[in-house]
Amino acid sequence: MAKENQNSNSERIHQIKMTLIIGYALIIVAAIMIVSVFSVSKTTEIMEEKVSSMTAAINVQLKLNIENYLSKLETTGTLIFATPEVYEYDAVNPSEDGYESLNTEDIIGDKLMELCIMENYVDFGIVYSNNHYVGKLSNGTASLFGTELYAQLENIISRDRTEDGWATGCMGDYKRIYYVKRVNENAVFVASFYTTELENVFKLPEDMSDVTVRLIDEGNSIIYSSANDETGSLLSGDIAVRIQDLSSAALVDAEYLITVNTCGETMRVICSVPTYIILDELKVIQGSTTVIACFAAVLAVVMGILLSVKITDPVGTLVSDLDNKAKLDRLTGIYNKKSFEEVTEKTISELKSSKELGVLFVLDVDNFKGVNDNLGHSYGDKVLANIGTILKNTFRSCDYLGRIGGDEFAVYMKISGHEKNHCEKLIRSRCEELCAAFRSNYTGDDNTYKISASIGAAAAPEYGNGFAELYKCADKALYASKKKGKDTYTIYSGSEERAGDPDES
């Protein structure tokens, strides 16, 4: 009996022991699974937010790219008016002498060829109300509009003030984008390019190859798509219903992450990517976490550490990379406009409780339009990238550098307590270094094309307790530098603006 009781007690102890082990194991597994699910859920939320922010920043950049591209063509069209024969000649006028007309058309044709020779335009010419034209007119355009050539082109003019306009999808053809501008009562200037040319405008980083970029018109017809086979078709309903009439937004749900921005007057740039693609890596991590949790009863602590490292490291790296891409200007490697304003605003707001001062430099590149016009936009991008290097070499690593416009840059420099006594001297020194760096910077294959910088500076908190207020003062100083002939700097003083000159220092 005693032996049976001993066996019974041993069995009970064993059962209790097993119950405790199993219970402990179940509790640990449940705890790990709960923590794992919470971690993955929170990481998913952070991931979606960061990817949405990065995609929105890239969408804004793409919007600026297409607007700059269209603006370049408008500017080129405006240059034809530099030749009086262009706007004075009327091919419809019966009183025009035939021989003189031929000579005039030769002059006009030469001017048009001079302006378009470096660009890949499909059409670049002047069309008269009798359908006669001078310059470059493709067979595709001539066939598309036929005898209604002038009338159809004239209908594209939609802006009364500038007497010009843009159109695509003309007669159902989405292969070309047309720009038309009034020349005189009986003539219009027309230029067009293939929509495939937008591939370079909407180029994305390699690690964002899953994002589809589309340019749509006011009727949701696709003008350009990185998917290639969508041009001319209507935007798919699942995306169209999400963006509706939104002009600027970032949306994310269970199916899509979408960003949209309006460009020009009637077009919108849309970036979209299926949500599952963004979260693929997280789903792999979630699956691994679930499997490991089932076997974590014995090695709960060790497995918890391994899971934490496995989840945190790749996600932290990915989030950090996305954060950097969203903050930096891709061309120059310095802060983009939004990020520069944010970090500067935060730093300026903290000046009251610190012993530091600050100064905002705003600089504009003189003659940069000439670089783009004479050397090409690709060369202009190289010049802008080099300017980023100049700023990094001129200022300290603790100063904030930003590109806040096409060829407009800004720097926020911190001035510590021991530097206050020679604050203005320090500002002048930096301005002179910048001007000197720009003066020694020549561009072009033969290094003969010179650019310079006009600079405005304003100190904080004396002239501003926030970025907008301080920028307004620095911009006024910059404008004063421009008025004085460029290639100089001005330090804002409140009641007056003092011009800087290297000879004065």
DSSP of 423-480: HHHHHHHHHHHHHHHHHT-EETTTT-EE-EEEEEEEEETTT-SSHHHHHHHHHHHHHH
Q: Which helix (H) or strand (E) holds 261?
A: strand 256-263
Which pair of tokens denotes residue 110? Answer: 């030469």
User: Contact at 8 Å (CB) between 134 and 108?
Assistant: yes
% helix, strand, coil for the chain, step of 5:
55, 25, 25
Number of C-beta neighbours around residue 243 at 10 A? 20
For the sheet with 222-225, list strands across it: 222-225, 212-216, 267-274, 256-263, 248-252
Q: What is the dotted CATH code of the domain comprising 337-500?
A: 3.30.70.270
Q: Name the pLDDT band for 36 (thresholds 50, 70, 90).
A: low
Q: Name the pLDDT band for 342 (thresholds 50, 70, 90).
A: very high
Q: According to the model, what pLDDT value does residue 200 have?
A: 84
Q: Name the pLDDT band for 217 (thresholds 50, 70, 90).
A: confident
User: Contact at 8 Å (CB) between 361 and 430?
Assistant: yes
Distance from chain centroid for Cα 239: 22
The values of phi and psi at residue 198, to 5°, are: -75, -5
Q: Residue 502 pLDDT more than 50?
A: no
pLDDT per residue over 479-495, tens digit each?
Answer: 999 998 888 999 998 75
Q: According to the model, what pLDDT value does residue 309 have?
A: 43
The SS3 of residue 11 is helix
| Spans of all domains in the chain | 77-197, 337-500
- Of how many residues is the chain composed? 505
Question: What is the third-level CATH fold of 77-197?
Answer: Beta-Lactamase (3.30.450)
Mean pLDDT over the full length of the chain: 80
Q: Residue 292 pLDDT more than 80?
A: no
Q: What is the CA radius of gyration of the chain?
A: 32
Which pair of tokens denotes residue 460? Answer: 């904080």
Q: How far apart are the first and last CA of the chain?
A: 110
Return the minimum-mean-pLDDT range out of 3-7, 16-20, 242-246: 3-7
Q: According to the model, what pLDDT value does residue 1 have?
A: 38
Q: According to the model, what pLDDT value does residue 14 have?
A: 60
- Report the C-alpha gap between 72 and 120 in whole angstroms: 13
Return the minimum-mean-pLDDT range out of 126-130, 177-181, 315-319, 401-405: 315-319
Percent of the chain clearing pLDDT 90 (strictly above): 26
Percent of the chain clearing pLDDT 70 (strictly above): 75
Minimal CA–CA distance to 487: which of 359, 362, 365? 365
Q: Name the pLDDT band for 3 (thresholds 50, 70, 90).
A: very low
pLDDT per residue over 58-114, tens digit each?
Answer: 878 888 888 888 888 888 888 888 888 888 888 887 766 677 888 888 888 888 888
Q: Residue 459 pLDDT more than 70?
A: yes
Q: Residue 370 pLDDT more than 50?
A: yes
Residue-wise burial string across 84-98, b where 16 or more C-beta atoms lie within 10 A, e elsewhere: eebbebbbeeeeeee
Distance from chain centroid for Cα 307: 37
User: Contact at 8 Å (CB) between 311 and 327?
Assistant: no
The values of phi and psi at residue 298, to 5°, are: -85, -45
Mean pLDDT within 286-304: 61
77-197 and 337-500: identical CATH topology: no
Q: Name the pLDDT band for 182 (thresholds 50, 70, 90).
A: very high
Distances (CA, A) of 469 to 129, 395, 425, 458: 52, 23, 23, 10
Which pair of tokens denotes residue 185? Answer: 């009562």
